C-alpha cells in the first residue's frame, strides 16, 4: 500500500492543537495538504501545503477548498462545550458543507468525533462502537450528528467516512480520567494515516485512544484500516491515579467535567436506559 495519498488532502481546523500536529507530520511524510481554519495558521506553512483562511459556515468557500481533494480530514469547529447557538454554525452547518463537498469530489471524510458522544455512560461500562449515543452536551450532540450524517452520506451517496471517537489527545496525561481516554499524538497521526490510506472503509467508528489498561472502550472498526495503538497512558498511573475532582457527577460518567456543565438533575440519570449490546 502507498505511504501517501495520490491526491491532495483537505485538513480543516489546521490552526488548532491537533491540526497543527497533523499539518506538520503529514507534510513531513510528503503529503500534499490544503490547510484551512477560521484563524490564521500560527506556524510557517510546511512545504507541500497551502493555507486558506475560511469559515466552515461558508459553504461556497468549503466547496472551493475541497476541489481536487480525495480526502477531507475534518478537525475544524467548536471543540469544547459551548451554548447551542455557538456550536450551531461551525459544527452543524459546517459539517453539512463538508459532506456536500465530499459528495461532489467523491472524497472520503475522516471526522474528528469525540468521546462526548457517549459521555453519559458510567465509567465501569465497556462500550463497543455500536452502542447508543449518550452525548453529554451540545458539543457531544454535534459530534453524534456528524457521525449520523456520515452514515446517511454513505448509504445514500456512497461517501466513505471514518469517525474517530477521540478521547483526550494532548501532550500529557494530566488527570485520572485521561488515564482511560488518552490518545498520544503519535497514535493519532498513525490513526489518521491509516484512515486515509486504507483502500475501502465504507462507514466506520473507531475509538481514538491509545493502549490504556484503564480504557473504557472495546470493539470498533480498526481492523478494517489496519490500525492498532502503540502508546499507552499506563506509565502515568502512579502520578495521576489520585488526581480526581470532588464532583460526584464528573467522576461517575465517562464524559467527566462536560457532564456537569449545566447539569440540573436532582438524581443521577438511570443507569441503563440504553444498555450497550
Ligand X SMILES: NC(=O)c1ccc[n+]([C@@H]2O[C@H](COP(=O)([O-])OP(=O)(O)OC[C@H]3O[C@@H](n4cnc5c(N)ncnc54)[C@H](O)[C@@H]3O)[C@@H](O)[C@H]2O)c1
Active site residue 263: no
140 touching ligand X, by CB under 6 A: no
From residue 260, how far is each of 104, 256, 268 by CA, in Å?
Answer: 40, 7, 11
What's the closest the beta carbon of residue 226 comes to ligand X, in angstroms? 22
What's the closest the beta carbon of residue 5 comes to ligand X, in angstroms? 20
CA angle 101, 103, 107 (to 5 degrees): 80
16 touching ligand X, by CB under 6 A: yes
Of the candidates 96, 138, 139, 258, the residue annotated as catalytic is 139
114 touching ligand X, by CB under 6 A: yes
56 touching ligand X, by CB under 6 A: yes
Beta strands in 127-219 (DSSP E): 161-166, 203-208
Q: In the 8-state DSSP scheme, what is residue 162?
A: E
Q: Please classify residue 184 by burial: count the beta carbons closer than 10 Å to its beta carbon, then call 0-12 exposed, 13-18 middle and 19+ buried.
A: buried
**Binder to ligand X among 166, 179, 191, 249 (CB under 6 A)?**
166
Q: Which residue stretch of 26-34, 73-81, 189-197, 262-270 sits at the interface with ligand X (rule: CB under 6 A)?
A: 73-81
13 touching ligand X, by CB under 6 A: yes
76 touching ligand X, by CB under 6 A: yes
Report d(CA 165, CA 149) in Å as an integer.
15
From residue 196, how far is each of 65, 82, 117, 190 by CA, in Å?
Answer: 18, 30, 23, 10
Paired strand residues for 127: 217
What's the closest the beta carbon of residue 181 comes to ligand X, in angstroms? 8
Residues in the chain: 277
Q: Could you give the residue numbers annotated as active site?
A: 139
Q: Which residues bind ligand X (CB under 6 A)?
A: 13, 15-19, 37-39, 55-57, 75-79, 90, 94, 112, 114, 166, 168-170
Amino acid at each position: 500500500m502507498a505511504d501517501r495519498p495520490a491526491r491532495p488532502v483537505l485538513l480543516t481546523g489546521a490552526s488548532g492543537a491537533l491540526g497543527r500536529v497533523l499539518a506538520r507530520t503529514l507534510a513531513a511524510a510528503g503529503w500534499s495538504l490544503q490547510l484551512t481554519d477560521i484563524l490564521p495558521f500560527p506556524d510557517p506553512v510546511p512545504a507541500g501545503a497551502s493555507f486558506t483562511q475560511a469559515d466552515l459556515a461558508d459553504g461556497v468557500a468549503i466547496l472551493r477548498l475541497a476541489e481536487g481533494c480525495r480526502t477531507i480530514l475534518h478537525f475544524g469547529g467548536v471543540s469544547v462545550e459551548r451554548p447551542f447557538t455557538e456550536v450551531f454554525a461551525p459544527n452543524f452547518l459546517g459539517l453539512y458543507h463538508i459532506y456536500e463537498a465530499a459528495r461532489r469530489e467523491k472524497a472520503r471524510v475522516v471526522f474528528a468525533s469525540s468521546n462526548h458522544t457517549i459521555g453519559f455512560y458510567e465509567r465501569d461500562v465497556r462500550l463497543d462502537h455500536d452502542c447508543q449515543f449518550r452525548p453529554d452536551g451540545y458539543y457531544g450532540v454535534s459530534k453524534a450528528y456528524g457521525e449520523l450524517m456520515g452514515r446517511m452520506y454513505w448509504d445514500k451517496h456512497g461517501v466513505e467516512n471514518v469517525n474517530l471517537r477521540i478521547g483526550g489527545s494532548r501532550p500529557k496525561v494530566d488527570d485520572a480520567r485521561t488515564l482511560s481516554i488518552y490518545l498520544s499524538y503519535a497514535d493519532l497521526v498513525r490513526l489518521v494515516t491509516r484512515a486515509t490510506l486504507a483502500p475501502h472503509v465504507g462507514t466506520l467508528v473507531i475509538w481514538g485512544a491509545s493502549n490504556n489498561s484503564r480504557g473504557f472502550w472495546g470493539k470498533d472498526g480498526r481492523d478494517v484500516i489496519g490500525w492498532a495503538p502503540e502508546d499507552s497512558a499506563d506509565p502515568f498511573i502512579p502520578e495521576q491515579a489520585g488526581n480526581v475532582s470532588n464532583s460526584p457527577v464528573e467522576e461517575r460518567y465517562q464524559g467527566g467535567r462536560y457532564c456537569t456543565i449545566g447539569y440540573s438533575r436532582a438524581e443521577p440519570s438511570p443507569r441503563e436506559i440504553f444498555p450497550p449490546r
